[in-house]
Structure 1
Amino acid sequence: MQSPYGLATECLDCPLRSSSFFCALSPAAVAALHAIKTPAIFPAAAVLFVEGQVPRGVYLLCQGEAKVSVTSREGKTLILRIAKPGEVLGIQAVLAGTIYRNTVETTQPSRLSFVARQDFLRFLNDHRDACLQVSRHMSRDCQDAYDVIRSIGLSRSVSARIAKFLLAAATGGQVSRGVVRARLELTHEDIAQLMGTSRESVTRTLSEWRKKDIADLSHSTLTIHDRPALKRLGAL
């Protein structure tokens, strides 16, 4: 069954099921999870939860993407990562019994399933394979945080950080005659928050690369014309 935006609605019959997180559970665990989750379709820019909020439960991201961010007292926002299908959002706060430490907002129409905190904890208690998946998921989140710190703290220049980001974003894109094209539904402001810099710096850098026919980001399409040049910029 298809929903608004052309997204699937049933987990058990979803053609997009993969080996990521809960999709890799045993049939019994998947059925148990199916019984306690509440699926919903969210439009782009929907806020799932806010930093500092008491956790109600977790969100399983089935289709779409969401940005995970933190904000300083001065109002500066840093995007920690872009969550992809298969991730569980809010899991650390639910397990620790603390407030949400970040804000999560969809970047495109997305299908998610909500599981209330107590139901989720009982589910983990009853299914050991789910506990293993949780530990793997949290380890990956920790590694992602290390990567953010390494990128912002050790890269010599903003342009190097942006170049590395674009190369990673283009992974899996379509290649034709040496030109790579990939969907990238992020604004210049979003990229700036991912890179720990200003929107003006991102816009200026992308404008220079467009003039030099290195890379271009227009209408949610990333086009890399000169991948070797972009790799050299990423090494600076």
Structure 2
Amino acid sequence: MYTSHGNHGESRSLGGLQAGAPWPPLPLTERGCTGTANGGYRLHQDAPADPLYLMGCGLRWHRERDAPAGWELIQFLRSTDHNARALAADLLAKTKYTRLLVRQLRRAKAKLNQMTTNHTPVLEGSGLKKAAEMNTPYGLEIIESCLTCKLRRDNWFCGLSRDGLKSLAEASHLTTFPGGALLFVEGQIPRGAYVLCSGKVKLSTTSRDGKVLILKIAEAGEVLGLSAVISGQPFQLTAETAGPCQVNFIEREALIQRIEKSGELGLHASQALSREFQSAYQDIHDLILARSSAGKLAKLLLSGAPSREKPESNEIRIRPTLTHEEMAQMIGSSRETVTRLLGDLKKKELIRLEGSTLVIRNRTALEALAA
């Protein structure tokens, strides 16, 4: 039971805790907390934990969407009290309003960046460049326009003439996404296309029984959702960022109008669709008609390796960006199978692990397995 009595106190019976206690049980400044700029409080690491206070924060967060109460629960995750951490984690696990906290975090970060910019002393040379990189979101280089972009590729839409790029830039909106963000989902009506400026995006589909199959990892420079935009049909895939990404969004109506008016843009769109379908055909061949699971995994590992420059350079060091689960989703297998196959490759001395680095010890043998 949770009954409000104005701002003076609250009567409650929460899991056997004593009823009639004042709210909050102690003033926040007496509980080892200090105020923060977002209207919440920061918990000192050695502050005493009160289950009643945590439950109150949970009720305020779930029922009233009170952001400071949500932040207070997050701060308790850093408490030295194991019981307090467990209770705070349980309360946060049931939340449906995480976006409110994320929105506040972004606003606070924007204000902090603005304050930093206004008070940063003038630096010269590499110092100025270093300071600029520190203020960019996720450490990505900020792109102000397609015309001045330093990340441009020669393929896809990046290879357009200056006039073509200017036309697209007028209709596009650049956004930075964290890892795990959904750009669009399978079955959704397309609102526009997405030009991946930097980062990687997982393109996947899901069966009725919930099995996920990753069809492709899109690289920087590619256009996502173009076929659905042109056909007007729902997306056939789900696009999820594999890490921090910068994406240029172009609304469907604006893109269609420009394709109709510009032969150059129409040609690039046709070439992009052609490459997309050629890649899909190859993926179907690799997934269904060719290779065992071991062969598919070998090819997947080799796809992250640089092209062979010298025939004698056989050992390669790479940093895998995929988990065992994601590898399984890419080769149409299970996580347990991938773990077992990696163990077999290590026993055969084809690969070895050095921390987070994967070392391909025998590229020739791995290529033979993938063939």
TM-score (norm. length: structure 2): 0.60
Q: Residue 137 of structure 2 corresponds to which residue in structure 1?
A: 4
Match of 2:318 among 182, 192, 196: 182
Q: Residue 87 of structure 1 corresponds to which residue in structure 2?
A: 222
User: Secondary structure at the residue paired with 1:99?
Assistant: coil
Instruction: Tell me the distance in 1 between the aligned counterparts of 2:330 and 2:320.
Output: 13
Equivalence map 1:10-89=2 (5 Å): 10=144, 11-89=146-224
Aligned partners of 2:147 and 2:162 also within 8 Å:
no
What are the Cα deviations for residues 122-174 of structure 1, in whole angstroms up to 9, with x where unaligned?
Answer: 12122211111111111111111111111111224100111122112213489
Q: Residue 231 of structure 1 corresponds to which residue in structure 2?
A: 367
Aligned partners of 1:41 and 1:109 also within 8 Å:
yes
Q: Give ranges in structure 1 of 5+ residues lacking alignment.
A: none
CA pair 66-146 structure 1, distance change in 2 beyond 3 A: same
CA pair 80-33 structure 1, distance change in 2 beyond 3 A: same
> What is the percent sequence identity of the aligned residues?
43
Deviation at 1:7, TM superposition (A): 1.8
Instruction: Tell me the distance in 2 between the aligned counterparts of 1:217 and 1:155.
Output: 27
Instruction: Tell me the distance in 1 between the aligned counterparts of 2:163 and 2:154.
Output: 16
Q: Residue 124 of structure 1 corresponds to which residue in structure 2?
A: 259
Deviation at 1:181, TM superposition (A): 1.8
Instruction: Tell me the distance in 2 between the aligned counterparts of 1:224 and 1:50.
Output: 35
The yes-or-no answer on 1:115 pairing with 2:250 is yes
CA pair 92-216 structure 1, distance change in 2 beyond 3 A: farther
Aligned partners of 1:186 and 1:220 also within 8 Å:
no
User: Secondary structure at the residue paired with 2:154?
Assistant: coil
The structure whose residues are more often strand, as a share, is 1
Amino acid at match of 2:295: A
Instruction: Tell me the distance in 2 between the aligned counterparts of 1:127 and 1:204.
Output: 52
Deviation at 1:218, TM superposition (A): 6.7
Equivalence map 1:183-222=2 (5 Å): 183-216=319-352, 221-222=357-358
- Aligned residues between the structures: 235
Deviation at 1:217, TM superposition (A): 5.9
CA pair 147-19 structure 1, distance change in 2 beyond 3 A: same
Q: Residue 232 of structure 2 corresponds to which residue in structure 1?
A: 97
User: Secondary structure at the residue paired with 1:44?
Assistant: coil
Structure index of larger Rg: 2
Amino acid at match of 2:158: C
Instruction: Tell me the distance in 2 between the aligned counterparts of 1:217 and 1:117.
Output: 45
Amino acid at match of 1:139: S
CA pair 193-24 structure 1, distance change in 2 beyond 3 A: same
CA pair 194-157 structure 1, distance change in 2 beyond 3 A: same
After alignment, is 50-59 or 4-13 more displaced?
Answer: 4-13
CA pair 188-50 structure 1, distance change in 2 beyond 3 A: same
What are the Cα deviations for residues 101-132 of structure 1, in whole angstroms up to 9, with x where unaligned?
Answer: 11000101111011111111112122211111
Considering Cα pairs closer than 8 Å and 6+ residues apart, tell me whether 1 or 2 has the greater RCO. Answer: 1
User: Secondary structure at the residue paired with 1:108?
Assistant: coil
Aligned partners of 1:174 and 1:182 also within 8 Å:
no
CA-atom RMSD, angstroms? 2.1
TM-score (norm. length: structure 1): 0.92
Q: Residue 269 of structure 2 corresponds to which residue in structure 1?
A: 134
After alignment, is 163-172 or 219-228 more displaced?
Answer: 219-228
